[in-house]
Amino acid sequence: MPFAKESDRAAETLGRPDPGLGVPLPAYEGRSNANIVPTWLRNGDALSAGVPLAPALAPELDPWNGRRPEGTTIVFLIDGLGWHSFRRAAEKSSELRVRAWEEHAHPITTVFPTTTVAGLVSLSTGVPPGRHGAAGYRLFLPGFGVVVDLLKMTPLGVNRPESLTGPAWQPSMVCAAPTVFRRATTGSVVSREAFEGTAFTRTLYDGAEFVGYSTASEFVHLLATLLNRSQPPSLIYAYWDELDTVHHRQGPLDDLYQFELERLAHALGYLAKTAGSRAARTTVLVTGDHGQVPSSREHQIHIEAIPEIVRELAHPMGGDRRGGYFAALPGRIDELRAALRAHLPPGSTLLSMSDAIAAGLFGPPPWHPELRTRLGDYLALVPAPYGLVHQLPGSTPAKRHLAGSHGGLDAAELLVPLVAGPLSDFR
């Protein structure tokens, strides 16, 4: 069955530039992955004290139709699951289980930046990036005084992971919002065994039971084991990273996407089969944190090689290669803007960070008290296949070029699917 014209129109609307800012804005008002947790919490009459939640999903996207969830809810985050690639792969596939995904799919947006850190934290807290504060892959954290790689919790240019994670480290040092597991319920997370105990995992899933897997078969087995407990968790988060990994390594290729989509549809179908009668009372919401665009080695802009920019910076570039954050030395904002404009590639967009925040690119207020300091003065968005790189002196270069990238506001990065329905529908 081909995609409905309504989905095409919805995707076109979501990818349309904001007339004031000139770039698309995430649909934080009810059509983004930040709205999933608030929908579950609202429908479950759960506690929502603390940092204000985003609104619930738009009514036509709510799998519970405003009612209280029954049974277990599985939030299945597939890293790199972009909408446009999903649309092409689903239309080409002859697999009936993929067709089931297609029939239950709607386009939504992820958050900005379109990167794993911001997307996953928003999904686990129900709060936009500007409010929870983890608004970038690399971010200046004033409490540490350095630009930090939040995936590894280490200063930019330092190769030792977790070097900033001491005995007194707490998730609140990065993220102001409590997770859904702290707000309302205990639950379980099924994620890579290698991620257990890291600072980023603690930030994402604070309060949850962590269940680690190493292979695809173990991933499905552990999900089935959780569902078949005498008292299964009310909420299960499942995280899959291989689609994102292969697209980074090989580029965002449709055949790779289709292979991943078909095997994950098979995995969900197997889970539905093993769940038996519980499948009808289990709700599944499948979504992504971003899509990807091609990235060419020859089109990477090395900031460290441009002295006109470097001499104006208060600290190294933050953000991501598709959307860089630049902070000026005191009194040098105009000079930094001029240097960036002179050296950014054709088709780039340079935004005042104050304007980007005020327009709602990072979500509506109230904002994290350090947001402006963490982000800097300018946001530079470059067109694919360009990227922004800031290699610090003495640091080890990346072992390989990433042929796929994300972090910007191309529709291929911003739009993701929301596939929602009873687990039994995916059998």
Same domain for 289 and 365, yes or no, is: no
Helix, coil or strand: residue 2? coil
User: Strand order in 146-149's β-sheet?
Assistant: 154-155, 146-149, 138-141, 318-320, 323-326, 378-381, 349-352
Same domain for 318 and 401, yes or no, is: yes
- The mean pLDDT of the chain is 95
- Residues 165, 136, 57, 54, CA torsion sign: positive
Same domain for 165 and 268, yes or no, is: yes
CATH number for position 166: 3.40.720.10
User: Is the CB of residue 329 less than 8 Å from the CB of residue 314?
Assistant: yes
Omega before 366 cis (within 30°)?
Answer: yes
pLDDT digits (tens, 9 = 90+) for 164-194: 999 999 999 999 999 999 987 779 999 999 9
CATH number for position 353: 3.30.1360.180
Same domain for 171 and 308, yes or no, is: no
How many domains in the chain? 2
pTM score, two decimals? 0.96
User: Which residues constitute the domain of residue 255?
Assistant: 5-294+411-426
pLDDT of the residue at 184: 79
pLDDT digits (tens, 9 = 90+) for 262-275: 999 999 999 999 99
Terminal alpha carbon distance of the chain: 17
- Token pair, residue 414, equals 């911003």
Same domain for 244 and 314, yes or no, is: no
pLDDT digits (tens, 9 = 90+) for 206-251: 999 999 999 999 999 999 999 999 999 999 999 999 999 999 999 9
Same domain for 84 and 55, yes or no, is: yes
Same domain for 44 and 92, yes or no, is: yes
